[in-house]
Structure formats: C-alpha cells, structure tokens
Structure 1
C-alpha cells in the first residue's frame, strides 16, 4: 500500500511513496519517521520565513532565526517553491492594494495645466516605485549568492514578474491619458517657445526638472520602452499638426524658405531635443531622426498643397523651396506625381474649366516644376495628362494663338502673358525643336532613374515651345495665325500695323518665313492700302468730272489669293455710304488702271453717334449693326422680316445685330407683337434679356468653316447615297465617296474631316445620327 507521508508536503507537491511489504521491516519504519520529522521542521521554517516576507509586515531586516530557517529551506531545496509562493502573494497584494492606490481621484480631462498633469504622472510613478521597493525588499536577503545559478535565476524571475505587474498598471487608461497629455503639453510649450510666446529660460528649466524627476522614476521601474512608445506616438501626432500650422500656405505669410527651415531645425535640435532627452534614453541619432520625420511631414504637406502651389505661383515660391529641400527619395517623387495628377483630374481637366485657364495652369506648372526639379523629369510626368487633355480641346490652338498675338477675346480668356514670352522663346528655339543631350557638355549627368522611357531632356524652360509641341504638325498653328492676323489687320484703324509687324517677325523665328508667307503678303497689302487711301483722299488728285471722297470712308485692298476666305454676303448699306463707295472705286480705278474694287460690305468697322431725345451715344460697330440702326431714322419700329429684307441678311445675323442694340438700351422688343422692335428715344429702367450672343463675328472664315464649305460640294453624293440606302455608318460613307466621286472632281478627305462635315449637317437638320448610322432627316 502507499500513502502520503505528510499532508502539508503533499499540498506542496512533495509526495513520498513508502511501500511496506512486511511488518517486521524495521528499516522502512525508521525511514518514515525521519521523513515525518523533517516535514515538521520544514513546516516550522516555512511559517517563520513566509511570516517575515508577507507584504503587510513592516519592512525590517530578518533576524538570525529567520535566516537560519531560510538556510534549512535551501538545504531541503524549497527556495524555488518559496519564490513561487511569494510571487502569488505579491500579485494578490498588488491587485488589492497597489492598483487602487494609483487610481487618479480626478478626471484626467480636467488636468489642462502642465504642472498638474506632471504631478499626476509623478504620483502614479512614485506609488509604483514604493511598491517595487517594498516587494523587492526580501529578495536580496534570501537570494544573495551571485555565484549561484539558482539565486540569479530567482532574482530575474521575480523582477520579470514585478515588471509585468507594473506594465499592467501603466496600461491603465487614466495613466496613458495623463502621460500623453504630459508629453503633448511639453512639446506644445516647445512650439510656443519657437514662436516667441514662451521665452522664459526659468520656465523651461522647471519643465526640464519635472521631466528629469519623472525620468528617474521610469529608470527605477525599468519601463523606458513604454515611455519611449508614448513619446513617439505623441511626437508623431504633434509634428504634422505643428508643420501644418507653421508651413501651410506660407505664400500668404510672405516668408522665405531659408528662415523657416532654420527655425524648424533650431526647434528640433533645441527645445524639443532637450525635452525628449530629459524624458527618455538619448542616443547620438535622436535629433537626426526627429528632424527626418519633420521633413517627411513637410513633404506630405507639400504634396497635398502642390495643386494650390502651382495656382498661386510665383507667390508660392517659398513652399517650393522647402519641398525641394526635403524631397529626397523616389517615393516622395512618386507620391507628388500621383497626388498632383489626381488633383488635376478632379479640379482642372473637365468640361467646366475654360481652355485659357487650363493653359495658364499648364504654364504655371512648367515654371513651378522646373524650379522644383530642373531636370524636368517630374514635369514630364505630371504634364502628360494636361497635354493630352489640351490636345483634345477644340479651341486650344485658337487660345494659344490669341495669347501670342494679344487678341482680346471673351471666349478664349486672357493669355496676354504668352505675348511677353514670345520674344524670349523666339530668341532661343524654333517650333518643334528639342534640345537633346549635348555630348560635349562636361557637366552632363544621366537622367534620374524614375524618368520615363521616352523622356527627352530639354534645357530651355520656356513654355511657348511646350505649347507648340502639343501637336506633331505645326500647320494647325500656322492656319490659325493666318486667320487671326487677317482679322487683326482688317480691324485696324489708321493702318497702324507696327504691333502686327513685330509679332510677325517673332513668329517667323518660331515657324519659318516660308510658312508665314501669306502673312507677309497681308501686311504688304495693308501698307499698300495706306498709300492708296492717302492718294484717294488727296484733294489735289481729284480728276475732272469726278467727286472727292468723304473722309468717312477708308478701305483696305487685299490680295484674294493670299488672304483667308471671306464671308461672302452682300449687305445693303445706307444710300449715302453706297455713293461714297462708288466714288472710292472710281478714284481707285484712276490710280490703278485696269483694276477694280470688289467691296466686302460685311467687313470693317463703323463709328456711330446716336442722338436720342435724352442722351447721345457713341459706338464702334460692324457695318451690319450700323446699317440696321440707320434704318430706324426712317421710322421707329420694324419687324424682323422687314429688317432682313431691307438689309439682305439671314435671320441669325439679323437677330444678333438687333440683340446688340437691345443690350445697349437703344432698341426694345414690342411686348404686344413678337419679332417687332421699337426705338427707345428715352431710356427705360427695365432691361430685356438678350437670348442670342451679340459678339461680333469674325471677318474671315476659320479653318473649320472653310473646310466645311469645301466639303459641301460632296453633299449631293451623300444625299443620293442615303436616298438609296436609308442608313450608313461613317466608314461606309467614306468608302462610297472614294468609289463614286469622279476623278476630275476628286475626293481626298480623311475620316475626321468627313465626321466634322456630317456633324454640321446634323446641326443644320439635314441629317440625323442614330446608333452610329447617318440617315436623311425626315
């Protein structure tokens, strides 16, 4: 049979199995008695030592009795069991007495004062330090032998257990909140000190002394890692907020980047470094890591603001300065490109933005990114989507040309800055030229690793060349330049063409003289017209039987072959104007024998003075508008049909002319009769809304209008084709035209030109497009 030798030893896991095989075996009985005696002695020693070690007992050095009992427990190999018991007792005591003692009686949210928060943290740490010293007190007496492996392991085990309890205590929400508030308050104080709000050295000394006292408690408790995590978390929240407040939209603060960067570095290497070093362990790379994170925050802020930085350039140059200083890695560059492209798609590249605004933004983008990264790799990446969108806009070429020639157009916006850049761009490069790498350049460096495969480095930062390179063929600009130049020359008064000649010379450098030959001829026509007009109005050259020409008529003689196609409409002018034109023509025929003038009556401008009952108004208008208002001298009211018949104009042009005078309070529409207009001898307070655009028409046809007119000769073929086959897609129409049109007529139009013409026919309601198929309008 078997039985436990001693209940107490059995409860501690020390079981003895004694087998009695015979009653007369005296040696076994003696052995059992010896074990029982040892158990009684061990129990007395255990009670003596544990009574002294209980945490409730006042701390005092153990007497010789306690130490002798501890020696006997060691001899019986019970020290490990004693340590386990003590750890359990300490844990229970800490839960019952330690944790309630460190609870803050106040709500941490009301601790807004720096020193009250610090004192709260100190009180918690002081309580934990007292508990740690109290619980550690018996260990050095019982496990004193450093050379003994068991003692060393015992001290280490107890220290780990104690650290675990302290770590649990410091994980308390209230303490975490107070610790975060403490670090945040001190960092905020450093930021205010940088802003000269707190420059008291004595105040900083008090703050550092408080942190140093807390640091001593942290070292005693061996919880440096936990405090380092708290400091890191607070700093990672504080610095982005500080950077945003200090550096966001700095172009509105009129500050330069150098002082700001110096201030940031002094702040980090000064107050912030001293604050953090007083609280946690310091190493030689602390300031460098703190400053590196601050620059990361600066880069993030610059990436977020890059779209606005470009908009406000050059006022935003300081922001580009700090971004250039801090942006060092390929990851930063990739983030900048992605964020800028997303902002462009969301805020710029959509149908609600004017083309002129997109071009202006593109020019600012070129300047800003060239300053940020002179190599142009970032510019190449971010500008691709803008360039692609501009190419798809129909009025891009017109806007660019109007800007270069300083044409004021309400539809294309103000791009007069292009004219200022035309001279500098013309002096450095020609259209379409690209500056490749110069292999004789001793300062040459390879392209950055993030450059696109088709990236080509351009030394020049001018954006005239960048705008002209939007299209592979420069003929689209040449055609528009001819049209704009023609309009400019025909709108001139007093034949003053100095500005046009200057622009033409600059454009020749970009496009070449051969491409602008027509413009040369147009300028010479105006110069020749000036001389001819002076001779016609010279009273000494009036021939016998002829009448002098009034000074109110001046004409420009144009060479039909070199000017764009004109709008050929025979406007009915007032009789006295017609008489002056006949005199002008007769005098011209005398000066230029065998040549005759053919008047384009819709072109030009007229100075008009209206003398009404209560006011006198002066205008400079087109001939059709002047002729229309002249009719109201005969009677005060006309219908639309009457005006059309008298002026020989179509309905759209007549309504546009009437709308101009309604807008200027000269005419009004009769409320009792539709399409009847009345002259306002006296101004009225209420204004009638003008539905039609009253902008003046261009004097010459645009390239698109000319192409449409040339395509009209094929309308009969398209009409007959769709009569036989009710509906056809555009590619079938293109194929049939190439097959059916005779060679003497010829057909060489591409698919895009045919599509544009069919779109015009749809607008004129001659065709309709259903599911991609065109058919005749019913």
Structure 2
C-alpha cells in the first residue's frame, strides 16, 4: 500500500511533511473525536436538543440549522448525536399531532399531517444531514430519504394511539348510517401501516368494561353502544377479528341482564306512534316518558329484512376466489362468519332464537290487546316482517292471536245485536296466548251484572265454551255524577271502577273494608286506587284509613294519613324522628303498591305519583333520600336507572 503524505504547518510557517500509512487515518479520527467529546460539558446534549427543537419550530431558521450541522460535521461528531437528533424529531412530531388532532373527527387529518411532514420534517432533516456536508453524501441521503419513512411511521403511530384512546367516545357519537366518519378512515389507514390492532382491541375492551359495563348503565344504552361498536369495527376490519376481540365482554354482560331480550324484542317491532291520553298526561305531570325509553331506535339497518342467521353457522367457502385466511392476530376461537345484519348479531348473544320467539309472542300479544280501534293492519305488516326473520313455524301462535281478535270482534257484534251492552270484551284462546296476570278482584254492582248478561249471551252462541274473566285487565270509561251537579269523565282501571262503584252503595269506606269486599285484595293496591279518585276530587281522606265520597266541593279534605301504616303490615323504612315515621310509612305503602302493580319505575315517576299521596308533598331530593333509605333497608333495588321491589 502506497504511503499517504500529510502537510502540517508549524508556528514558524515551515511546512513539515509527515508520511503515514493510510491505516493510521481512522485511529487518528477516533482519537480526535474522543478528545472532542471528552471536552464537551454534561449539559451539551440537553442544550443541543433545545437548540435543535427551537430551529425545528421556526421555519425561517434554515441558516441556523445549517450552521449547527456544519459545526458538528466539522468536528466529526454529527453522527454521535444522531439518536439525540432522532429524539428531537420524535418529540416535535408528537407535539404537533397532539396539538392539532385531538377531538377533530369531522375531517381527514392524515393529508394535513403528511403535508406538514414533507414541508417541515424532511426540510429539517435535509438541513441537518444533507446540504454542504463534507462526509459521505450517500449516507446522508440514506438518512433523509430512507429513514424519513421511519419518522413518518412514528407520526402514524402517534395518531393511531390518539384515535385508539378516543375510540370509545367516537363510538358513542357515531350516528352516520351511510358514510363513516373521516376520523375512522384515518384510523383505518394508520392501522394498515402500524399494525396496532392488538392495542386497539385491548384499549377498547378496557374502556368498555370500565365506562359501560357497570350496574348503573341502562341496558338500552349498552345495546346502543354495542350496535355502534359493531358498525365502527366492521368498517375498520370487515373480517370481524377486531369485533370478535372487543364484543365478548359486552355479549357476556348482556346475557346477565334480565331485560336484554325484552329491549331487543321491543326494537324488532317498530313502535306505533300514538298520542298520549290527556288524563294520563295529567296523572304523570312530570312530563317524562320513561316507559318508552327502552323502546328507542336501536336497529336502524337500511337493508331489507333477512332471515336470522344461526350463531354457529360457519362461513368457510374455500371455493370463493376472494377467500382469505384469518388474520394473524385472530384469537383461537375466531371463525369467519357470514356478514350478518345487526339483528342477527344481537339475537346471537343468547345463541338460540327460542328465547326471542317466546318474548316476541308476549310482546306481540300485548300490542294486539292495546289496540282499541280495531285497526290491525300495522301489526299484520310487522308480523310478516318477523316471519321473514324467524320463519313461519315459530310464529304460528301469533297467527292464532290475530284470528282470535277477528273472531272476538265478530262474536261481540253478534251479542251486541241481541243485547245492547256497554261491555266489549276481547275473547282470546287460553292455550295460545301468553300467561295473563291473575287477580282475585271481584267486580261489584252494575259491573258484575254486565259480566253476567254478556256471559249468558255468549253461552247461547258458544255452548261448548265458557268465559273466564280477567277482571284486572282492560279499561273502563266512566262518568261520575255528584250531588252538586259535577260530572267527572275518566278512563279508569277495573279496580278503580270497582272502588268507586262501592261508594255508590255506601258514602264512607275503610281501606281494609274495601280490600275485603273486592276479593281480599292487597290493601296497598286499593289505597292506590283511592289515591286516583282523591286526585280527581271524588273522594276525600278522613284520616285513620277512612275515606268518604266528596259530594260537594265545599267539603274540606283532610290531609291526614289515609294509607295503611307500613309497620302494621310488617314493612318499614328508617326515619330520623318519630314525627317523620308516619309520613314515611304512608310513602312506603304507596311506593310498594306502585312497584308491585306497575313494575320498575324511575325516580321521577315515583316522585310524580307520591305528590298524590296524603300528607305533605315530598321534594325530589326527599323522594330520592326516601328511596335510598329503602334500598339500605333491603326493600328495593336500583338498576338501569329504575327502582324495583325486592321479593322476600
């Protein structure tokens, strides 16, 4: 190897030529760099990073970047601070993404970020590693144009992490039924580049369990979130691997909720819009519509109804040219299935259609019995849709229900032609309809006479059949006439009508006497019926569980205890003083009757009905405190924003 000449100039200006082998250059350079780095203070790295970040944030500092890079390059230590430079770039990328992208969901952010990356990051890297560097040029351009893809990958990762942390809120706000949100398209593109699918599944599962699958969340809200989750994850991952990983805890939790099937079924049949009765609006004066909340629109598929797919139906058509194997991150239990609609997915929560069909029959029967104008066209259409989904055979019982109503109206018309009766019963087949609530109620007076007359006429037409009345069901249109000329027109329940009928025989009744006379009924149910007539100004409370007919308006009602004391019947809620115990017992008797007869109720509904109870009207805060006290006593429970009675 030929020698290499170095020319050095001493302090006297004389040139000294030193001849060394070429192999001595690299040890000399390493020694020189070591000496330079050893003289740098410990704070040099932090100071250099701060200077680099400052030049990064200011677009007009290209000359400053060049000067810094030239100085480092001349000292031969530019490459020694490459990791520090990379860290500065990463921090600036993260800062920019976190400043510009959070909570922006109505526009695509990736094009804007890529433009920023090309204008700022690549320009910055070119100034540091490219322009005017005396070191090997191909290495510098490799850093700029090849390693730039690594920084772009980091930018996509930061954006993907941000969107994964926001995904739960994105799903909550997801409403678009036709086009996905721009933020979802950005997330989908990021996932394709960064492969953070496991992070998405883990993050969304944790957020869902922590923020949604809680006892205080309403079942309808959980179902709505689940439906939105299905739509969002199907867009991000059509094969369903992401959905399979996220949905399992939701499905398991919904199986444990007792009202899940009921709410899903309520959404399978479109809810008929009907005007609320004015008297009912007056009775529930708080204006809430809590009974309809669980029947909100969950299922908004725009496609035609299709048959429900079985949960175990596996779709592995290997002859399909478009078939692809499951993704590498698919969980062991994952199997590719046919793309089903939302309803099929919800039905598959329980693995069988039998539970839904049974609940469908109950819901369909209740809807039919609620129709009073004889127009069943809408229900016939709904039944046809249900047959498409569940098949004809499971819903044959619903056909029998429809036939019963048609035959019932025909029979009633024949009887009305023979005897003009104010009674228009709905006659149904005992073996084909769902079980109806039973009661020992015995209708008195003219109500009982109407039943006997109708029953005798029915026996003439249907000699091989016998009517068995359900006196607790139905409605009664009443006109109550008082001595002072007042007339009160109401739509009452049979129990309420029976209570006021007895007042026509005797103007004054004790609650226990009414309960005994009407068939040994629950005393709180009778007290609730008395409360209804008291709100209409028909009866008044005399105290000591005694009520009398209010014939004239000048009679002053006494606001004393009218409902039976709770302690007399083995019930009680803690009160803070003996004076409050009387009101607490009255309140509890009415709350117990409400929850027994009406089922689960929200706090607002209970408060609205307690205002009709004898005694001082409780405030909303007092009502809530009272219910919480009853909960501590183990008398009621609060779940899905509804209060229910604990059976003991």
Post-superposition shift, 1:563? 1.4
Tell me what 2:124 maps to.
275
Residue of structure 2 aligned with 1:357, choices 216, 221, 227: 221
Question: Of residues 457, 462, 472 in structure 1, which corresponds to 2:336?
Answer: 457
| Structure 1 residues 234-273: aligned runs within 5 Å | 234-251=88-105, 254-255=106-107, 257=108, 260-273=109-122
SS state at 1:694 partner: helix
Distance 2:90 2:488 in 1: 69
Distance change >3 Å, CA 665–CA 294, structure 1 → 2: farther
Shift of 1:445: 1.5
In structure 2, list runs of 5 or more residues that go unmatched: 1-7, 131-142, 273-288, 561-582, 600-645
Q: How far is the alpha carbon of 1:487 from its aligned partner? A: 1.8
Greater alpha carbon shift after TM alignment, 669-678 vs 580-589:
669-678
User: Which of 478, 501, 506 pairs up with 2:385?
Assistant: 506
1:600 matches 2:470: yes
- The structure-2 alpha-carbon separation of the partners of 1:222 and 1:659, relative to structure 1 and needing over 3 Å to count, comes to farther
- 1:401 to 2:271 alignment: no
What is aligned with 2:452? 582
Q: CA deviation at 1:490?
A: 1.9
Counterpart position of 2:152: 291
CA 1:492 to 1:438, structure 2 compared with 1: closer, same or farther past 3 Å?
A: same
Change (3 A) 1:494 1:293: same
Tell me by how many angstroms 1:497 deviates: 2.1
Equivalent residue number for residue 641 of structure 1 = 512
1:621 deviates by: 4.6
> How far, CA to CA, are the matches of 1:271 and 1:61 in structure 2?
46
Change (3 A) 1:418 1:307: closer
CA contact (8 A) 1:405 1:503 kept: yes
The answer to whether the 8 Å contact 2:299/2:343 transfers is no
* 1:308 CA drift (Å): 1.7
Q: Residue 426 of structure 2 corresponds to which residue in structure 1? A: 556
1:369 Cα deviation from its structure 2 partner: 0.7
Tell me which residue corresponds to 2:12: 63
Q: What does residue 174 of structure 2 align with?
A: 313
2:357 corresponds to which of 470, 473, 478? 478
Contact persistence 2:227–2:298 (CA under 8 A): no
Alignment of 1:594-673 (within 5 A): 594-607=464-477, 620-628=491-499, 638-648=509-519, 649-655=521-527, 657=529, 673=544
Asked whether the 8 Å contact 1:628–1:657 carries over to 2, the reply is yes
Displacement, 1:667? 9.2
**Residues 400-419 of structure 1, C-alpha deviations (whole Å, 9 max, x = no match):** 22221346994794344356
Q: 1:383 matched to which residue of 2? A: 247
SS of 2:192's equivalent in the other structure is coil
1:603–1:623 CA contact under 8 A, matched in 2: yes
Provide the C-alpha distance between the structure 2 equivalents of 1:221 and 1:396, rounded to a whole number of angstroms.
Answer: 72
5+ residue gaps in structure 1?
Answer: 1-52, 54-59, 68-140, 190-203, 700-762, 766-778
Measured in 1, the distance between the counterparts of 2:379 and 2:388 equals 15
Name the structure 2 match of 1:172.
43
TM-score (norm 1): 0.60
* Cα distance in 2 for residues equivalent to 1:631 and 1:307: 59
Match runs of 1:693-704 below 5 Å = 694=594, 697=597
Structure 1 residue 229 corresponds to structure 2 residue 83? yes
**Paired positions, count:** 534
Tell me: CA distance 1:284–1:522, structure 2 relative to 1, closer, same or farther (3 Å): same
- Higher Cα Rg, which structure: 1
TM-fit CA distance, 1:564: 2.1
Matched with 2:435 is 565
Cα distance, 1:475 vs structure 2: 1.9
**Which position in structure 2 is the counterpart of 1:494?**
373
Residue aligned with 1:452, SS: coil
Q: For the residues of structure 2 that align with 1:238 and 1:677, how far apart are their CA atoms?
A: 82
CA contact (8 A) 1:327 1:333 kept: yes
Distance 2:113 2:540 in 1: 68
C-alpha distance in 1 between matches for 2:221 and 2:56: 44
1:212-257: CA deviations, max 9, x gaps?
Answer: 2322222223332455434322332333333233322223xx32x3
Aligned to 1:691: 591
Give the TM-score taking structure 2 as reference length.
0.71
CA RMSD of aligned residues (A): 4.1
Give the distance between the partners of 1:485 and 1:417, measured in 2 at CA.
18
TM-superposed deviation, 1:294: 0.9
Cα distance in 2 between the residues matched to 1:511 and 1:286? 58
* Residues 374-425 of structure 1: CA deviation (Å, up to 9, x unaligned): 011111121111111222222222222222134699479434435654x947
Higher relative contact order (CA 8 A, sep 6+): 2
Kindly tell me: are residues 392 and 278 of structure 1, through their superposed partners in 2, closer, same or farther at Cα, counting changes over 3 Å?
A: same
Distance apart, 1:670 and its partner CA: 6.0
Higher helix share: 1
Q: Is the 8 A contact 1:435 1:457 kept in 2?
A: yes
Give SS of 2:294's match: coil
Q: Distance in 2 between matches of 1:351 and 1:460?
A: 31
User: Structure 1 residue 671: deviation in Å?
Assistant: 9.8
Contact 1:573 1:647 in 2 (8 A): yes
Answer whether contact 2:412 2:425 (CA < 8 A) is retained. Answer: yes
SS in 2 for 1:382: helix
Distance 1:366 1:276 in 2: 43
560-569 or 403-412, which deviates more: 403-412
Within the candidate set 66, 73, 76, 1:212 is matched to: 66
- Conservation of the 8 A alpha-carbon contact between 2:525 and 2:593: no
Aligned to 1:192: none
Report the Cα offset of residue 582 of structure 1.
3.3
SS at match of 2:20: coil
SS of the residue corresponding to residue 145 of structure 1 reads strand
Spell out, residue by residue over 1:623-681, the C-alpha distance to the aligned partner (whole angstroms, 9 max, x if none). 2244345656778875431331243222353355456678x686999696468799796
Indicate the residue corresponding to 1:128 in structure 2.
none
**1:225 and 1:158, CA in 2 relative to 1: closer, same or farther beyond 3 A?**
closer
Cα pair 2:33 2:75 within 8 Å, conserved: no
Q: CA deviation at 1:300?
A: 0.8
Q: Contact 1:356 / 1:412 at 8 angstroms: preserved in 2?
A: no
Which whole-Å CA distance do the structure 2 matches of 1:223 and 1:250 have between them? 42
* Residue 297 of structure 1, CA deviation: 0.8
Match of 1:373 among 214, 231, 237: 237
Change (3 A) 1:217 1:342: same
1:438 aligns with 2:317: yes
